Amino acid sequence: MGLTTAKSATEKRLPIREVSPVELYGANDTNLKLIENNLEVKLFVRGDELVVRGAADKVAIVENVIIEMIAVLNRKKFIDKDDVHTIIRLSQSGQSALGETGLDSVVLFTRSDVIKPRTPGQERYFAAAMDYDMVFGLGPAGTGKTYMAVAFAASALKNREVKKIILTRPAVEAGERLGFLPGDLKEKVDPYLAPLYDALYDMMPHDKVNLLLDQKTIEIIPLAYMRGRTLDNAYIILDEAQNTTPMQMKMFLTRMGVNSKIIITGDPSQIDLPNHGESGLLEAVRILRGVEGMAFVDFDEGDIVRHKLVRRILDAYEQSTSKNTVS
């Protein structure tokens, strides 16, 4: 594996006392092999110590990797290959996977990155999702409402807090009447659900997402097909909720079962309902804001995390609307 010569190599002993070595090292030492292959070191288990041999700079990186792996294992009670890959990659680039705010700020470890709140609004969103069973995320495009909600759900599934994820949107462009579109149900609705697929594929390997979809551990369905269901042990996300009717919103909110969490996201300024019908999201916010057990998180332009031009575009449209209103 291209190890350094004995003359330039160093050795360090790392005590492993806070966690189960078996869980830290992985089945058949899988996690140790990942470290060896990626960092060109040799690892040896000696009682309650892990011996690291290799170039001094590599040994220092391994020490940081092990420290962060222990922190993750202490918090989550398990650690998988994606977690280890991410910690290794960030440690190689001189970053901490946990960052200054520590593990409490991490939403999800993916194969290549760590998903964390990046704006004050996202921080409030994350805190609300941790503390409440129903959260409304309200604000303009580009603030990460949908992406972060999917990350919350993926994390809950990965941590075995729920048994399934349900992602849904109103297919308002087709008026929820999809029969005239070509293809089977999946082919009809997939274009409307693409942002949810995109978020999932960004957070998990494609083959794993496809397997979970086949097993119906993850379901991505149009809102019209939620009627009549009661969902227990599930993380449920309603995206683009501004395009629900009041009847649809009430129907959705009453799908909540035992040990379930619901995130509702929407942009009140982008209502596309036909005939300018009343938005179920606006009605729900008006009726439910202040009800115990749920949280409302309001995003603004300062929370936009897309290209910097997105914020300028939204500002320009807002100014134009204000001028037209005044005139």
pLDDT digits (tens), the chain, 327 positions: 344 444 467 899 998 888 888 889 988 899 999 999 999 999 999 988 999 999 999 999 999 899 888 888 877 677 888 788 888 887 887 766 555 445 567 788 776 677 888 888 999 999 999 999 999 999 998 899 999 999 999 989 988 899 999 999 887 654 445 455 555 556 666 777 788 889 899 888 889 999 999 999 999 888 888 888 888 999 999 999 999 999 999 999 998 999 999 999 999 988 888 766 789 999 999 999 989 999 999 998 888 877 667 767 877 877 776 666 555
Long-range contacts of 17-20 (CB under 8 A, 24+ apart): 17/48, 18/70, 18/74, 19/70, 19/73, 19/74, 20/73
Residue 3 lies in a domain: no
Same domain assignment for residues 129 and 110: no
Same domain assignment for residues 169 and 188: yes
Domain with residue 38: its CATH number is 3.30.1370.10
Domain boundary among 85, 114, 143: 114
Same domain assignment for residues 194 and 299: yes
Q: Which domain holds residue 303?
A: 117-326
Same domain assignment for residues 105 and 129: no
Residue 1 lies in a domain: no
Same domain assignment for residues 258 and 231: yes
Residue 56 lies in a domain: yes
Tokens of 33: 């092999």
Same domain assignment for residues 234 and 320: yes
Residue 2 lies in a domain: no
Same domain assignment for residues 144 and 32: no
Same domain assignment for residues 48 and 165: no
Same domain assignment for residues 247 and 200: yes
Same domain assignment for residues 95 and 174: no
Q: How far is the first Cα of the chain from the last one, in angstroms, to the nearest whole number?
A: 72
Domain with residue 211: its CATH number is 3.40.50.300
Same domain assignment for residues 103 and 125: no
Same domain assignment for residues 164 and 281: yes
Q: Which 3 state secondary structure label does DSSP give 218?
A: strand
Number of domains present in the structure of the chain: 2
- DSSP calls for 21-85: HHHHH-GGGHHHHHHHHHHT-EEEEETTEEEEEEEHHHHHHHHHHHHHHHHHHHHHS---HHHHH
Q: Which residues of 153-162 are buried (b: 16+ CB within 10 A; e: fewer)?
A: bbbbbbeeeb
Residue 149 lies in a domain: yes
